[in-house]
Structure 1
């Protein structure tokens, strides 16, 4: 069956589910106590002995906390053009008790595909078939990407996630293994618009890498997967790596598992040879690729790139500040706080039921790779593995401490220009509230409130040593990066005052936030009416606007919502499973939404992947009356703090959410401000 990007196609959507985990939240992660440290003695200068390396990795996977959340994994460690270890742990198929085999078990590597796509582009650049600094229009076979910025869009911009596209995700990128969705059709069906000057701001961009694959295909005259197979896989002897899901490949794929450890069905990625996320490979093959990356593009007599091109790919030059690691061509920097002063470049990949990551230490000619066939605490496993590896083999910085200039301290008035709401460029619902203080900034996000002290011009540091930075853009724009690795955020224009919402109003910050986010775009009023109930249609409309999900072109299924200004939003929410009708044909769009209804909708959004990916229902101590069907939703909303001053816990910590009362407009504003 040939698939087009026709709504609804949200059965599995990486852009909503898995990709929100990918390089997403640099949060405070559990790091095991010293009691779990490997008993093996680390060699000087990194891993060198295969037996010692295996003993160390074994000790990691033998830890009870790791075993408790592991389905299956494959590991590869390379050093100085040698594969020290390629080993499987756990099961490729737990039901059949099939162990992971590093030579034959295939794992989906998701966005690690991007490193191979960038390699294919660099090969064309070395052959002078493409120019990395030229506008890409000449490589698109007549396809036009709207761009009114006056600045060219180049291959460099695509490879460094600085395209300036309005949409970086497709409606459909995973589905039935029998479905066919060619790369050319995929690129044309999901064509974005350049709305931001290319090169100005970073926002992780899956579509850009599909477009790169399309360009490779156009310039070479061969299918993208053929180019990668002939010019990367074959020279390196990666005989068990694939971009196309054939029946034989599917049989060898490890069984994927969700965040609760439950098995998932196998699926295809779209387009079928996806340059942004279609790679399937083994631990042994990835060891060969890492060796080439660490040895100037060479493996034995084979060469896939020049040493200079390899260096160019691994330069993480696109950054919001020189003191914060950025991105290169198909590479980035995850968990820099665990690098112990070493130069590390990496690439992570996340798809439904699979996660993978590759770390390279170019100066040490050392590489580490892991792939997992479960989303259950997978990011935690990846981060803990990297930290354990670095603490074991590279515990100290290679450079002696240098004297640093004393921190600068601007006055509160000097810092005021940084104040305001900042909206994430990739996930608009993710936001920061920045307030200037004496000696620094107060920043509120979904993790709480943080105090940032100034270190350098536009560079700050929080209580835990995490860095944050600002960057001036064109036309007075201001960008901010903190606590989130997959994109920067942009300062929103100031609010337009409502006559009935003075600055002293207890909900003022929440109300002006929803205005600045554009959630009130379909309302044209000088007043907000904070104490009036919000209708079911308005609540759903504001949530869908906050999510930035493309709206359904299908007519709304409810007759009574056909004339609603939020008809498309209601139909989209219905297709996503966020809402139900009150009867088969009725939605009651103009009825005030009840607080427990709002809680259920928001909790469903969390489970679908809005905001905090992988969120699970949480429990809270409640008092007052809540219907059984809404109990889990209300508990989740209360536990996550999605409410305003109207909800107060008693001395025992119990909360009366007032579940059966209508939700007021000001209360909905507070809920959206707190989300996700």
Structure 2
């Protein structure tokens, strides 16, 4: 899952490239119960009845813009149909044969297929150091373990960052070569490759660059020649060509159209593909039929089988990655073996599920920031492959047996996603942005919650807990964090201590210099707040020339540029940012709101405010107050109103409270 910019992949994708539950606002939870069919999809008319009933539910029909839905079985398209509108204003209906959507990170399986074609030809060794295919470029790696193409294919690179800030542009004429993008964003390997799972957009862009280097032609040209043309995918491309005429208009969560945008780089291997439902049906059929569609073969049977089997798992019974495909919604598989890929961009959200043993594929894509994929696949699986109710035994263990799992876990992809685990009454209590959950052990290191979602722990060679994975946040493992060092000037009973130490523990300001003082009452500067915010998000600091002219020598210059590229900051009339100026509380609230609305698809909120707030900051202050993203400095008045003290300068303890509470209440 690559979003509008890559942060959106990062976040909505929080975020939901992965979506084991929907993590974006606007999720639909249909109450419609569909009669089950134990034979799987077979009759096109019956499949149409299922699809019509699902998409015609009032909650979906009244909130969705448009969708293209496809089901294939064997070597045939069993069903394809458009629902709603490609252009709401012009009332242009979705046509699965003609309407083009951005399929976002579903692009990754096309990129992975290209890599596997070259591996099949002996031109790429999946277990060889990837530097052999990088045209002289080197990815810094001091772990002692070579980074291989297989690590890239399984999201186990060990990179310091997998998401960058420069992901899209409204300048449709801008041309950014893939080579330049990769060279500008070369990561560092900081963890042993193959040891940790973390969704990695940059890793797939590097795969596309390797395809260019090995094939001796641009990535997009290679894919056209070796995948799209053989399969007859005439309305698919990795760049905005003439097919833009049929591109569905994207809409945000409140139904506003989003201007047409291009990707950066122009041919983006991790998320830039445009396609139709009919074209994606052909791709699914080829994968399900041993690499063949009719008389065309895009890969050998053994290659397809290799792509579809598990290659990375947190536990033998809880898989994470095949090659390019994921296992993100396993709690909805009902015992079937399913591989999948989801994708998210601004205004476009796509899901693809393959059931290789049944030769069944399902594809859906929509053109509004409104989440229907999880309810759809759940309804589909419950209808065609009902769950065989075989309850596994669960065990309540003595607290001392569970103590080793207690602690704070920081997500390896999204630092703001914090999981806190404690042992209680023979079970584990997990608290994260989605609330509290109870985990029961079903076998060593494998747990299951009250809804059937699984979780597992990974140990290191010494038997200590190394990582945690939970299906409800399925794009990354989380790393167990040591207790944070204490500041001299922040006692444990300080009213802001929990917020300050939360952020220090997850590395937002773990590298502070000086005499180990936090200075909680000190005013925070604009630069420092943005620096904290980007570290909190997990986005890579930008390597581009700063847009603002007054950042030379500033320690947060790269983070400020990232925030600008993500749309969290605006250009100024004089071209300056004034990073050393103090930050007002309403300025901080506005940055948070831009993140929430632009990347988490949060809807505007209203709070009962008192005191003065500038008009330009009202949406942000309303959101922050309504969500309770503040510390003890904000108190409720007798009439129930809250004065956010918008025009006051923010101090460091208040900034810590804002980010800490935002992390704990992302959704």
TM-score (norm: length of structure 1) = 0.87
1:294 to 288, 293, 315: 288
When residues 25 and 338 of structure 1 are mapped into structure 2, their CA distance, relative to the original with a 3 A threshold, is closer
Over residues 392-434 of structure 1, what are the superposed CA-to-partner deviations in whole Å (9 max), with x where a residue is unaligned?
Answer: 212233xx737x454252424x444433332222222222233
Alpha-carbon contact 1:423-1:430 (below 8 Å) kept: yes
Are 1:496 and 2:485 an aligned pair? yes
Over residues 228-287 of structure 1, what are the superposed CA-to-partner deviations in whole Å (9 max), with x where a residue is unaligned?
Answer: 2222223322233222322x2211222222222222232222333322122222222221
* Distance in 2, Cα, partners of 1:626 & 1:244: 43
Are 1:311 and 2:305 an aligned pair? yes
SS in 1 for 2:320: coil
Over residues 185-209 of structure 1, what are the superposed CA-to-partner deviations in whole Å (9 max), with x where a residue is unaligned?
Answer: 2221221111111111111111211
2:468 maps to what in 1? Answer: 480
2:621 maps to what in 1? Answer: 634
1:469 maps to what in 2? Answer: 456
2:7 to 13, 16, 38: 16
2:190 to 187, 191, 195: 195
2:536 maps to what in 1? Answer: 546
* Distance in 2, Cα, partners of 1:552 & 1:181: 15
Are 1:675 and 2:666 an aligned pair? no
When residues 162 and 638 of structure 1 are mapped into structure 2, their CA distance, relative to the original with a 3 A threshold, is same
* Distance in 1, Cα, partners of 2:116 & 2:572: 56
SS in 2 for 1:231: helix
Are 1:425 and 2:412 an aligned pair? yes
Shift of 1:635: 2.2
Shift of 1:471: 1.4
SS in 1 for 2:430: strand
Shift of 1:329: 1.0
- Within 5 Å, give how 1:140-155 maps onto structure 2: 140-155=134-149
2:172 maps to what in 1? Answer: 177
Are 1:388 and 2:391 an aligned pair? no
* Distance in 2, Cα, partners of 1:359 & 1:283: 13
Shift of 1:347: 1.0
Shift of 1:68: 1.2
Structure 2 residue runs without a partner (length 5+)? none
1:209 maps to what in 2? Answer: 204
Alpha-carbon contact 2:394-2:441 (below 8 Å) kept: no
Are 1:61 and 2:55 an aligned pair? yes
Deviates more, 1:326-335 or 1:147-156: 326-335
Shift of 1:359: 1.0
1:221 to 208, 216, 221: 216
SS in 1 for 2:67: strand
Over residues 334-388 of structure 1, what are the superposed CA-to-partner deviations in whole Å (9 max), with x where a residue is unaligned?
Answer: 332222222211111122222211111112221111121222x1x2x11222122
When residues 526 and 224 of structure 1 are mapped into structure 2, their CA distance, relative to the original with a 3 A threshold, is closer
Alpha-carbon contact 1:77-1:85 (below 8 Å) kept: yes
SS in 1 for 2:95: coil
* Distance in 2, Cα, partners of 1:578 & 1:427: 17
* Distance in 1, Cα, partners of 2:236 & 2:562: 37
Alpha-carbon contact 2:38-2:383 (below 8 Å) kept: no
SS in 1 for 2:322: coil
Are 1:604 and 2:594 an aligned pair? yes
When residues 551 and 317 of structure 1 are mapped into structure 2, their CA distance, relative to the original with a 3 A threshold, is closer
Q: Which has the higher contact order (CA 8 A, sep 6+)?
A: 2
When residues 356 and 650 of structure 1 are mapped into structure 2, their CA distance, relative to the original with a 3 A threshold, is same
Alpha-carbon contact 1:558-1:581 (below 8 Å) kept: no
Shift of 1:154: 1.0
Alpha-carbon contact 1:471-1:480 (below 8 Å) kept: yes
2:236 to 241, 248, 253: 241
* Distance in 2, Cα, partners of 1:539 & 1:206: 26
Shift of 1:30: 4.2
Shift of 1:116: 1.3
1:264 to 239, 242, 258: 258
Alpha-carbon contact 1:520-1:542 (below 8 Å) kept: no
Shift of 1:648: 5.1
When residues 534 and 219 of structure 1 are mapped into structure 2, their CA distance, relative to the original with a 3 A threshold, is closer
* Distance in 2, Cα, partners of 1:287 & 1:542: 44
1:118 maps to what in 2? Answer: 112
SS in 2 for 1:289: helix
Alpha-carbon contact 2:542-2:558 (below 8 Å) kept: yes
Shift of 1:158: 0.5
When residues 647 and 464 of structure 1 are mapped into structure 2, their CA distance, relative to the original with a 3 A threshold, is farther
Alpha-carbon contact 1:446-1:675 (below 8 Å) kept: no
Alpha-carbon contact 1:316-1:331 (below 8 Å) kept: no
2:344 maps to what in 1? Answer: 350
* Distance in 1, Cα, partners of 2:257 & 2:576: 36
* Distance in 1, Cα, partners of 2:444 & 2:651: 42
The root-mean-square deviation of aligned C-alpha atoms, in Å, is: 3.1
When residues 104 and 535 of structure 1 are mapped into structure 2, their CA distance, relative to the original with a 3 A threshold, is closer
* Distance in 2, Cα, partners of 1:664 & 1:401: 55
* Distance in 2, Cα, partners of 1:273 & 1:539: 34
When residues 534 and 99 of structure 1 are mapped into structure 2, their CA distance, relative to the original with a 3 A threshold, is closer
Alpha-carbon contact 1:315-1:328 (below 8 Å) kept: yes
Over residues 41-63 of structure 1, what are the superposed CA-to-partner deviations in whole Å (9 max), with x where a residue is unaligned?
Answer: 65541111112212221222222
Alpha-carbon contact 1:341-1:396 (below 8 Å) kept: yes
Alpha-carbon contact 1:353-1:373 (below 8 Å) kept: yes
Structure 1 residue runs without a partner (length 5+)? 1-11
Number of aligned pairs?
649
Alpha-carbon contact 2:457-2:465 (below 8 Å) kept: no
SS in 2 for 1:141: coil
Over residues 81-108 of structure 1, what are the superposed CA-to-partner deviations in whole Å (9 max), with x where a residue is unaligned?
Answer: 2211122222223343332222222221
1:33 to 10, 31, 34: 31
